[in-house]
Amino acid sequence: MGEAATVQSILNRFLDPTALDAHRRKVCRHLQACRTAALGGLSWQCDRCADEQPRYHACRDRHCPQCQGRATRQWSERQRGHLLPVTYYHVVFTLPHTLNGWVALHPDVIYRRLFDSVWATLKAFGQDPKRLGGELGMTAALHTWGQNLSRHVHLHCLVPGGALGTEGTWRPAKSNYLFPVRALSRHFRGRMVGSLREAAKAGELHRVTRAGEVEALLDALMHETWVVYTKACLSHAATVVDYLGRYSHRTAITDARVLGVDEEGVTLRYKDYRDGDKQKVMRLDGPEFVRRFLMHIVPKGLMRIRHYGFLANRSRETKLETIRQALAVPTNEPVAHDDRHTAAELSYRCARCRQGTMRVVGEIEPRPMTAPPPFR
């Protein structure tokens, strides 16, 4: 039986670890070791037919396609207690591809200022007395990829439909798009370009070395149309959680989209949004797939998911309680959740005899890889 077509198998076949910086090398080492003997695990045995099977530990790296399902479920459960009985709006802010070169040089600077500019834009619109005249809440998740693994930096924002007034009242949004898209786009463009000018003056864009490039590019960006998408999409609590989780821990590509791996390259499935969301198949050389995948490893310590306004961690519980009182709805019951469950506490049906139960009978010690995996 051939090797499974997964991101892990692609890295094992095509990755050249000597060409990576320390952070990317560490991430790739996690992904290659995930659910293998390198991390150790537990030995399971059927209590009926005595069939024994190993189950290796997960790496839990945020870039790992194998690990994000569990992380998504846990994170979504923690958000249930923060939901409001209002319509939620999905707003997406996209950086022009003109900035992709700077993203490659200074990802930490660009991503940080993207979060700041998006929140500054929505906060200003929410506080405008002619609109909502109060404080918005926002949960934002950074995505850096398109369906073909190209660089496509955008922020997915989920915004409860209304604002908290200074007197403790709730001021609901009344449209199906929250705020006018064109006005949002222009304000976002001005905020982000202004922020990048500040970054350049502060020396944060020091890797941009060509004379006059900063001013020329920023001036050109002010004449481009920046893409902002918004729609009212959710009103039921259970749907909000599922929707939020879908964007919270998504990786650049899932194993389900990898259709095949051979000596030369990778075949994958993607959705073409420019052609009516049609499902298509594309072929990439192995090294090119790896290069594109590595573009989406975010800088160490960068928070990809952030909360703002009345959803900010420091004041969320107090402000949500104020909003619920204004809406005359009961306080959400605390969600019981325990991240400490281990495989030793679980059991499952034996796949061999289909009658017995698999139970833990021993621990498997890690066997670190003694040599780097082969690459081409």
What's the rounded Cα separation, in Å, for the pair 176 and 89?
8
Distance CA 119, CA 133 (A): 16
Residue pointed to by tokens 């073909």: 148
Report yes or no: 302 and 294 within 8 Å, Cβ to Cβ. no
User: Three-state SS for 171?
Assistant: strand
Is 230 a residue whose pLDDT tops 60?
yes
Q: For residues 261 and 5, what is the distance between their CA atoms, to the nearest angstrom? A: 6
38-70 pLDDT, tens digit per residue, is: 999 999 999 999 999 999 999 999 999 998 877
Using alpha carbons, select from 61, 71, 65 the residue that is nearest to residue 23. Answer: 61
* 3 state SS of 28: helix
Q: Dmax of the chain from CA atoms?
A: 74
Are 62 and 68 contacting, i.e. CB atoms less than 8 angstroms apart?
yes
pLDDT of residue 343: 46
- Between 109 and 374, residue with greater pLDDT: 109
The mean pLDDT of the chain is: 89
Residue 232 has pLDDT above 90, yes or no: no
At residue 73, the pLDDT reads 77
pLDDT digits (tens, 9 = 90+) for 283-325: 999 999 999 999 999 999 999 999 999 999 999 999 999 999 9
Q: What is the mean pLDDT of residues 91-118?
A: 97
pLDDT category, 246, cuts 50, 70, 90?
confident
Residue that wins the pLDDT comparison between 264 and 102: 102
> What is the model's pLDDT at position 237?
57
CA–CA distance, 310 with 323 (Å, rounded to integer) = 9
Residue 246 tokens read as 């879908």
Q: What whole-number distance in Å separates Cα of residue 268 and Cα of residue 283?
A: 7
Supply 367's token pair: 């066997």
Phi, psi of 372, rounded to the nearest 5 degrees: -65, 150
What band does 334 get if pLDDT is binned at 50, 70 and 90?
low
In tens, the pLDDT along 116-155 reads 999 999 999 999 999 999 999 999 999 999 999 999 999 9
The pLDDT-based confidence of 330 (bands split at 50, 70, 90) is confident
What's the rounded Cα separation, in Å, for the pair 243 and 76?
9
Residue 368's pLDDT band (cuts 50, 70, 90): confident
Structure confidence at residue 76 (pLDDT): 77
For 240-266, give the DSSP string: HHHHHHHHHS--S--GGGEEEE-SSEE
Residue with tokens 């192995």: 286
